[in-house]
Amino acid sequence: MAKVEVCIIVDYKLYNIFLEKNNYDVAVARTALEKYFAALIAMVNERYKEINEPRLSIKISLSDLWVAQSIMEASWVETHRNFLTNNVVGTHALESISKWLEDQKVLRKKYDHVMVFTGHPLVNERSKTIQGIAYVGEICHKSRSASLMHDMGKYQSAGVAAHELGHSLGAFHDGAVNNTACPPEQNYIMSPTEYGSNNGKLNYMYLSECSIKQITNVLR
């Protein structure tokens, strides 16, 4: 079994959202964050538990939770924020996160993948809204095994987190040039649109055969 230990990083904006919800009680907000992301990772794990492939078994677990206590501590997001729209350019922020991971001294526990959650909306370089972003096939790379997601509350990010982790594990979008055998309309985890949601098909809890094959090739 491949065990993937995830370190979650919460940016200052999202931390403040939890603080506000909990009457600015730091201890209560911290506990709320811990419970929220423990449950979210459990939801991600449920999706990967459903892999029906003898050669591939994956367990996702939470190894650590680090929370930015200031704008400066979340500079990898804040420096790429448009102060008029509050939108963050995902590709630029992910690059900064990767550079920060190369030299950071605050993450003490062992991890295989870093998930960064922000309270700011994410956009691509064409200013189109995105839910998350990750490097493809970099799960074994020290600083590039990372993903960035916009957390909108109520565990809506569980499907996004599973999708972006799939990229890090080596899966491309269903329907891409190298995945034409798996149409995106089937709504598996790695569908490029509406992932993590139920659009009438129940496949959003599962990886397609294309994704399973690609992840197996990376982890073997």
Binding residue numbers: 163, 167, 173
Q: 53 an active-site residue?
A: no
- For the record, the structure tokens of 62 come out as 């939470």
Phi-psi region of 23 (alpha: psi -120 to 50; beta: other; left: phi over 0): left
What number of other Cβ atoms are within 10 A of residue 101's Cβ? 21
User: Which entry of 164, 185, 194, 209 is annotated as an active-site residue?
Assistant: 164
Binding residues for Zn(2+), by number, are 163, 167, 173
Q: 113-130 burial, b for 16+ CB within 10 Å, e for fewer?
A: bbbbbbbbbbbeeeeeeb
Q: Are strands 132-134 and 146-150 parallel, antiparallel or unpaired?
A: antiparallel
**Helix (H, G, I), strand (E, B), or coil: what is residue 146?**
strand
Phi-psi region of 201 (alpha: psi -120 to 50; beta: other; left: phi over 0): beta
DSSP 73: G
Catalytic residue set: 164
